[in-house]
Amino acid sequence: MRFDLKKYFPPPRRLIAAVVSGVLLSLSFPPASLGPICFVALIPVFLVVLRSDLRYRIHFQTGYAFGVAFFLTHLYWVVQLIPASSLTVPWIMPLALVLIALYLAVYPGVFFLVLPMITSRNPLVAIVVAPGLWACVELLRTGSEFGFPWGLIGYALSTRPELIQSASVSGIYGLGALVVLINVVWASAVLARAQRTRITLFVVGALVFVMNPVLGSRAMKAYPESVEGGSRVTMIQPNVDLELKWKKSFTDSTFNLIERLTREAAMLDPQLVIFPETCVPLYLRYNPLYQERIASLARELNTGIYIGFLDGRYEGPDRTLNVFNSSGLFDPSGGFARYDKMHLLPFGESIPYGWRFRWLQKLDFGQANFSPGPAVAPIESPAGSLGPLICFEGIFPALARRFALEGADLLVNITNDGWFGETPGPYQQTEMTILRAVENRLYLLRSANTGVSMIVDPAGRMVVSLELSREGFITANVRGRGEMSMYTRYGDT
């Protein structure tokens, strides 16, 4: 039986255009961090799809090839993750990278399949349709327990505050739609037959490209860089080696480190000290001695201590043991409030829907088997009410928006990025969380075990940060919530 490559792959020129677009888009993100390239990265693939008279199958294949090229080059570092050597199936990491790319590529494949169907390959109609369709596809990629919004196109601009201010109105999906709009306008200009139309489209694309930072810079003026008064907060970065962290013999050393860094930070008189995800390497509620050490520290120093730990509870009529990736605030007055991570990393912290279908938890890839926590209200702290986001949750706009809508003054993202190692992973995740501050016009406080820890203001500026693989802490004054942003009010509806 003859294997027909043409049935599964687009023609060579179209394949090359798709791969070029995918690689260009990946260069917008760390480690290259050439953000503005995203405004032209999609032009090659748009040129193929919008002028082609081939079957729609070819359009899907072209979009799929673009997606595979992008996700393979954007997520190549997955094979270098530190836990790879401890997995029950170590060689699974290269396979995981390929499977992730093959799965995620379906979404751009669908986009480039549907776009010419709706527009009949008319570039001018595509200008109207493409941005909204792209936003819908990215929103679809974020949903469900399989949701993985890593590499949404708007995140390419995270470190350019003047370019991301529109996110306070339209969110990350609207920001991505703006990037796609500029790409499709310039692609349509190339395809236009009439010179007047071509010039007009080039000018329109240039105007949108220029006006975005101009309007963004103006919007940023409403959020001064320096804060007088407000609340003083400290992010702790312990930089604990993952190989030592979970050893019982190292537990006392971990708590000694927590106490030492808290006392050093307390010299700057913060109202709130924040430690990273699973900073306490044990089930804290079932170890009263260690729990009291943190509680007494909060009382002694008269500061709130927010910290990550593990928790386990017997729940339901059958008293099933559920394990949670948790965090909690130790109030200096003696109070304690807990938050359990709600959106778990698929195949890393749990098998998707394993909490509902227990037989799925029998699948063993070396993953944890956490249960998703319940929805809770913002946590009251001495520095204001907190909207907690644990690790992966920081890249989901809806989670941060829910806390902002319910009255959170500050967004808090704690994470243990140590398992990323020295890859682009921690930088990519750090930059994605910046958008949560802009979308909701709230300060975002990020404490990471090995970095990058930072404090981001409501305009998306990094007020202070601590680089990767360093022990220490950062402190800054922050303000509570101001006027609710349009995105917070209306979300992605």
Q: Is 86 exposed, middle or buried (0-12, 13-18, 19+ CB in 10 A)?
A: exposed
Handedness of CA 54, 45, 432, 171 (dihedral sign): negative
From 295, 264, 270, select the one nearest 280 (Cα to Cα): 295
Q: Backbone dihedral region of 226: left (phi > 0), alpha (psi from -120 to 50 degrees) or beta?
A: beta
Q: Is 292 a catalytic residue?
A: no
Helices (H), 149-250: 167-191, 195-220, 242-245
> What distance in Å separates the CA atoms of residue 493 and residue 276, rounded to the nearest whole number?
33
Q: Going by C-beta distance under 8 Å and a sequence separation of 6 or more, which residues neighbour residue 287?
A: none
Residue 380, φ and ψ in degrees, nearest 5? -75, 130
With beta carbons less than 8 A apart as the criterion, state whether 172 and 490 touch.
no
The CB-side HSE value for 448 (13 A sphere, CA atoms) comes to: 28
Q: Is 391 a catalytic residue?
A: yes
Q: Is 277 a catalytic residue?
A: yes
Q: Going by C-beta distance under 8 Å and a sequence separation of 6 or more, which residues neighbour residue 344?
A: 145, 325, 350, 370, 372, 392
With beta carbons less than 8 A apart as the criterion, state whether 274 and 303 touch.
no
Tokens of 294: 């943190």
Catalytic-role residue among 138, 162, 245, 277 = 277
Tokens of 83: 């836990």
With beta carbons less than 8 A apart as the criterion, state whether 424 and 450 touch.
no
From 238, 273, 234, 274, select the one nearest 256 (Cα to Cα): 238
Radius of gyration of the chain (CA): 24
Q: What is the largest CA-CA distance in the chain?
A: 78
> What distance in Å separates the CA atoms of residue 15 and residue 9, rounded to the nearest whole number?
7
Tokens of 387: 């909207």
Catalytic-role residue among 138, 162, 279, 341 = 341
> What distance in Å separates the CA atoms of residue 315 and residue 303, rounded to the nearest whole number?
33
With beta carbons less than 8 A apart as the criterion, state whether 302 and 334 touch.
no
Q: Which helix (H) or strand (E) holds 60?
A: helix 56-74
Catalytic-role residue among 138, 391, 393, 439 = 391
> What distance in Å separates the CA atoms of residue 318 and residue 321, rounded to the nearest whole number?
9
Q: Which positions are annotated as active-site residues?
A: 277, 341, 391
